Amino acid sequence: RYRDPNAEEKMNPFAEQEAWEEHQIGKATMKFGSKNKKQVSDDYQFVFEDQIDFIKASVMEGDKFDYEEMKDSHEKSQAKSAFEALQEERKRLPMYPYRDELLKAVHDHQVLVIVGETGSGKTTQIPQYLHEAGYTKRGMIACTQPRRVAAMSVAARVSQEMGVKLGHEVGYSIRFEDCTSEKTILKYMTDGMLLREFLGEPDLASYSVVMVDEAHERTLSTDILFGLVKDIARFRPDLKLLISSATLDAEKFSDYFDSAPIFKIPGRRYPVEINYTKAPEADYLDAAIVTSLQIHVTQPPGDILVFLTGQEEIETAEEILKHRTRGLGTKIAELIICPIYANLPTELQAKIFEPTPEGARKVVLATNIAETSLTIDGIKYVIDPGFCKMKSYNPRTGMESLLVTPISKASANQRAGRSGRTGPGKCFRLYTAYNFQNDLEDNTVPEIQRTNLANVVLTLKSLGIHDLLNFDFMDPPPAEALLKALELLFALSALNKLGELTKVGRRMAEFPLDPMLSKMIVASENYKCSDEIISIAAMLSVGNSIFYRPKDKQVHADNARMNFHTGNVGDHIALLKVYNSWKETNYSTQWCYENYIQVRSMKRARDIRDQLAGLLERVEIELTANSNDLDAIKKSITSGFFPHSARLQKNGSYRTVKHPQTVHIHPSGGLAQVLPRWVVYHELVLTTKEYMRQVTELKPDWLVEIAPHYYQLKDVEDSSSKKMPRGAGIAS
Ligand code: CDP
Ligand code: MG
């Protein structure tokens, strides 16, 4: 079993300790054995071959082209104005020579599959070409991205290239953040956002072109979009549809879109030397750090790209790298460490694209985001530990987890290719050639086949698509997962027995949230506490980045955090208290500092809350406050999260009520020392154990009262009730 250091995009106050805890135990090695963890001390020696043995395996032949000429023209352009330089740069992209040919193909065909290596200019250039050719006169051009960061950074880049202000002609739209205006003609957006736009505009009438970009990523939303855009293309002959992908499995896309022609952009790639380790690495994080430092000390100039699995791992690596380079002082050249992951604040994202100063070297610590969606110039060395974080779903229990999993061969080759974009590159795989050949799958399983489908099913139902089993999926999800989603939506009263959308379901679908969260909000109407509930929902949506816990002030930080837990109110209500206290100080930044709270996260929560308030109005739920009735608030939470209930065991662990499984209260939770008999939790995360995060106490009677179709009395009868009357120990 692989560890799950963090639920995606979330930070946990104990992240570092946990990361290290697991570090000691020994992390994911590729199933097939391990080497002893190497001891790393401060008087670290850079003996490359000694530390990690690499063997050179193969050399990929790059296409022929004139490297010197490119370099030369690049230098010349330095002198020109930034804008002119950008225009020159645009013309040097592999995409550029095919501009007219592409425009002709788009003119001649309604649907086109476009294939070109990462960095060829698909995402940034194609929408501009289409705009220059007049397509935006008939409507906007949408370009979807699987990742928020990609949508934002690409939009920023294109607005620079067009010399316009971001949010005007060129904008982006991601969940809870709409950076577009009346003027917008090129709209970069997450695939999930375009999916939601179908709810308001089922024929996408405001668009003249839809480009489903990064199609090879096969995210859940992209897969659903395929079915929907294929359908509208039939009755909207004026709509142009582009499916673009970085890998060569284009035939599959073409087949799906009724044999749409494939437009190939010839790659311009330099040879990449692939190195493998002689034996599997026991600790890939450590191996990655060691390798980075060794490249830095022993290899010619060129930046390094390291693929890690998530924010916490990246932060750990950043810290260790900083520590070790500091220890080496002026003995080595400057090493600029640039983290990049989905949750990285926008102002810090720009740093990775800044050119590296002369004499220094940049090391980019990235999640999978740098595999295809972002191109960073100047990368010459890639370090690939061979893992990524992947969602997996158990349709039987309905439990979803993010696990660190070996990547596929296709991913490994993508990663290697990132080093050969601007010159010959080197890739260091922290696994063996044997592992690569025999242990890695050829391709990644599409997300639709390994995820909870409740959200998508609710969206499809709201679009009037009822026959889900016969929906035109490129790869259908397991029938079991579809049924599970229907069951959950039925339990939440979003669907009736016939599988039709109910009024509750229609209201739920308006919220861009997981169905359980939307249900919690919709149910708050009954308990007259919608005001409190949307604050809680907003705080939960921000993730685990509310509290921060600096290393040297952990005790203070913990004390500050525990203040919000006075009365053992549970994590949800503690979050509400944080929000309300901040509001009472008139959203003071100073207050956040004093309480070890991340002001950026709070501002985001406020934004999200404002939007949720707007949506409440839209579904005609009054904003009512009921702050003194904590039971009402807890009942609303239970109305959405009753499938996530658990009961205390004698040994201090918990057992989930439906589909029994042993779980624990996360040590950072306010109730970790209290251990109430019955709890409802927001989510499960698997680190060293299966932990419940965001936990609130509940009364077992509520389960039967709120979800009589889901729980019977026997489910909630306390086995120890003979000794203790039911409800004892519950502070009410
Ligand atoms: O989509 P594709 O991978 O084919 O390429 P792209 O994202 O359009 O990138 C084309 C060029 O724009 C690359 O050379 C990138 O370095 C540059 N770019 C950038 O400088 N900043 C961004 N935020 C995005 C792209
Ligand atoms: Mg792209």
Q: At residue 680, does pLDDT exceed 70?
A: yes
Ramachandran bin of 72, using left for φ above 0, alpha for ψ from -120 to 50, beta for the remaining angles:
alpha
Question: What distance in angstroms lies between residue 477's CA and the mean position of ligand 2's atoms?
Answer: 26
- Summarised one tens digit per residue, pLDDT across range 618-636 is 999 999 999 899 999 999 9
Ion ligand 2: residues, Cβ under 5 Å: 123
656 bridge partner residues? 646
Going by pLDDT thresholds of 50, 70 and 90, the confidence category of residue 420 is: confident
Q: What is the mean pLDDT of residues 644-657?
A: 95
380: three-class secondary structure by DSSP: strand
pLDDT of residue 369: 85
Going by pLDDT thresholds of 50, 70 and 90, the confidence category of residue 250 is: confident
Report whether residue 157 contacts ligand 1, using a CB cutoff of 6 Å. Answer: yes
Report whether residue 12 contacts ligand 1, using a CB cutoff of 6 Å. Answer: no
Question: What distance in angstroms lies between residue 108's CA and the mean position of ligand 1's atoms?
Answer: 27
Going by pLDDT thresholds of 50, 70 and 90, the confidence category of residue 688 is: confident
| Ligand 1 atom at minimum distance from 125 CA | 8
Report whether residue 353 contacts ligand 1, using a CB cutoff of 6 Å. Answer: yes
Q: What is the mean pLDDT of residues 275-296?
A: 93
**Residue nearest atom 15 of ligand 1, based on CA coordinates:** 375
Question: What distance in angstroms lies between residue 154's CA and the mean position of ligand 1's atoms?
Answer: 7
Q: What is the mean pLDDT of residues 534-553?
A: 89
pLDDT of residue 51: 60
For 346, the token pair is: 């926008």
pLDDT of residue 75: 54
pLDDT of residue 396: 73
Distance, in Å, from the CA atom of 430 to the CA atom of 387, rounded to the nearest integer, reads 10
For 396, the token pair is: 């039987």
pLDDT of residue 62: 40
- Nearest ligand to the CA of 213 is 2
**Residue nearest atom 14 of ligand 1, based on CA coordinates:** 119
Q: What is the mean pLDDT of residues 291-311?
A: 94
Report whether residue 247 contacts ligand 1, using a CB cutoff of 6 Å. Answer: no
Going by pLDDT thresholds of 50, 70 and 90, the confidence category of residue 350 is: confident
Q: At residue 37, does pLDDT exceed 70?
A: no
Q: Which of 307, 315, 404 shows the shortest CA–CA distance to 28?
A: 404
pLDDT of residue 372: 81
401 bridge partner residues? 392
Going by pLDDT thresholds of 50, 70 and 90, the confidence category of residue 393 is: confident
pLDDT of residue 25: 27
- Nearest ligand to the CA of 158 is 1
Question: What distance in angstroms lies between residue 121's CA and the mean position of ligand 1's atoms?
Answer: 6
**Residue nearest atom 6 of ligand 1, based on CA coordinates:** 121
- Nearest ligand to the CA of 172 is 1
Question: What distance in angstroms lies between residue 673's CA and the mean position of ligand 1's atoms?
Answer: 50
DSSP letters spanning 567-595? TT--HHHHHHHHHHHHHHTTS-HHHHHHT
| Ligand 1 atom at minimum distance from 116 CA | 4
pLDDT of residue 111: 98
CA distances from 171 to 408, 517, 682, 723 (A): 33, 28, 33, 63
Secondary structure in 3-state letters for 109-145: CCEEEEEECCCCCHHHHHHHHHHHCCHHHCCEEEEEE
Report whether residue 94 contacts ligand 1, using a CB cutoff of 6 Å. Answer: no
ipTM of the complex: 0.98
Distance, in Å, from the CA atom of 374 to the CA atom of 313, rounded to the nearest integer, reads 19
Going by pLDDT thresholds of 50, 70 and 90, the confidence category of residue 9 is: very low
Question: What distance in angstroms lies between residue 354's CA and the mean position of ligand 1's atoms?
Answer: 13
Please choose from 375, 377, 414, 421 the residue to mutate so as to test ligand 1's pocket, defined by most ligand atoms within 8 A of CB: 375
Q: At residue 90, does pLDDT exceed 80?
A: yes
Question: What distance in angstroms lies between residue 307's CA and the mean position of ligand 1's atoms?
Answer: 19
Q: Which of 399, 573, 482 shows the shortest CA–CA distance to 7?
A: 399
Distance, in Å, from the CA atom of 439 to the CA atom of 406, rounded to the nearest integer, reads 9
Q: What is the mean pLDDT of residues 200-212?
A: 97
Average pLDDT, the chain: 86
Amino acid in the structure at residue 285 = L
Report whether residue 159 contacts ligand 1, using a CB cutoff of 6 Å. Answer: no
pLDDT of residue 20: 28
**Residue nearest atom 24 of ligand 1, based on CA coordinates:** 154
Report whether residue 123 contacts ligand 1, using a CB cutoff of 6 Å. Answer: yes
pLDDT of residue 341: 86
| Ligand 1 atom at minimum distance from 376 CA | 16
Question: What distance in angstroms lies between residue 246's CA and the mean position of ligand 1's atoms?
Answer: 13
Report whether residue 245 contacts ligand 1, using a CB cutoff of 6 Å. Answer: no
Q: What is the mean pLDDT of residues 388-396?
A: 82
Say if residues 521 and 534 touch (Cβ distance below 8 Å).
Answer: yes
Which of 41-45, 422-426, 469-473, 689-693 shows the lowest mean pLDDT across its residues? 41-45
Report whether residue 122 contacts ligand 1, using a CB cutoff of 6 Å. Answer: yes
**Residue nearest atom 8 of ligand 1, based on CA coordinates:** 121
pLDDT of residue 74: 55
Question: What distance in angstroms lies between residue 127's CA and the mean position of ligand 2's atoms?
Answer: 11
Q: At residue 458, does pLDDT exceed 70?
A: yes
Amino acid in the structure at residue 276 = Y
pLDDT of residue 81: 83
For 211, the token pair is: 């480009």
Report whether residue 96 contacts ligand 1, using a CB cutoff of 6 Å. Answer: no
Range with the largest mean pLDDT of 29-43, 604-618, 717-731 = 604-618
Going by pLDDT thresholds of 50, 70 and 90, the confidence category of residue 469 is: confident
Report whether residue 93 contacts ligand 1, using a CB cutoff of 6 Å. Answer: yes
pLDDT of residue 23: 29
For 315, the token pair is: 């932060």
| Strand 645-648 to 425-429 pairing | unpaired
- Summarised one tens digit per residue, pLDDT across range 107-152 is 999 999 999 988 899 999 999 999 999 999 999 999 999 988 899 9
Distance, in Å, from the CA atom of 377 to the CA atom of 359, rounded to the nearest integer, reads 16
Q: What is the DSSP letter of 484?
A: H
Range with the largest mean pLDDT of 21-35, 249-263, 401-415 = 249-263
Going by pLDDT thresholds of 50, 70 and 90, the confidence category of residue 331 is: confident
pLDDT of residue 31: 34
| Strand 399-406 to 186-190 pairing | unpaired
pLDDT of residue 43: 35
pLDDT of residue 673: 93
Going by pLDDT thresholds of 50, 70 and 90, the confidence category of residue 21 is: very low
Question: What distance in angstroms lies between residue 431's CA and the mean position of ligand 2's atoms?
Answer: 28
| Percent of the chain whose predicted confidence (pLDDT) is above 90 | 67
Buried b (16+ CB within 10 A) or exposed e, 333-354: eebbbbbbbebbeeeebeebbe
Distance, in Å, from the CA atom of 492 to the CA atom of 728, rounded to the nearest integer, reads 28
pLDDT of residue 605: 95
pLDDT of residue 682: 95
Question: What distance in angstroms lies between residue 590's CA and the mean position of ligand 1's atoms?
Answer: 39
pLDDT of residue 270: 85
Report whether residue 119 contacts ligand 1, using a CB cutoff of 6 Å. Answer: yes
**C-alpha 635 chain-centroid distance:** 30
pLDDT of residue 73: 56
Say if residues 119 and 421 touch (Cβ distance below 8 Å).
Answer: yes
For 411, the token pair is: 């991913």
| Ligand 1 atom at minimum distance from 118 CA | 3
Q: Cβ of 508: how many Cβ atoms within 10 Å?
A: 30
Going by pLDDT thresholds of 50, 70 and 90, the confidence category of residue 308 is: very high
pLDDT of residue 58: 52
Q: What is the mean pLDDT of residues 212-228?
A: 95
Report whether residue 128 contacts ligand 1, using a CB cutoff of 6 Å. Answer: no
Report whether residue 267 contacts ligand 1, using a CB cutoff of 6 Å. Answer: no
Say if residues 115 and 245 touch (Cβ distance below 8 Å).
Answer: yes
Going by pLDDT thresholds of 50, 70 and 90, the confidence category of residue 446 is: very high
- Summarised one tens digit per residue, pLDDT across range 161-178 is 999 999 999 999 999 999
Range with the largest mean pLDDT of 30-34, 77-81, 392-396 = 392-396
pLDDT of residue 376: 84
Q: What is the mean pLDDT of residues 275-285?
A: 91
Q: What is the DSSP letter of 300?
A: -
Q: At residue 731, does pLDDT exceed 80?
A: no
Distance, in Å, from the CA atom of 202 to the CA atom of 229, rounded to the nearest integer, reads 10
For 475, the token pair is: 């790869």
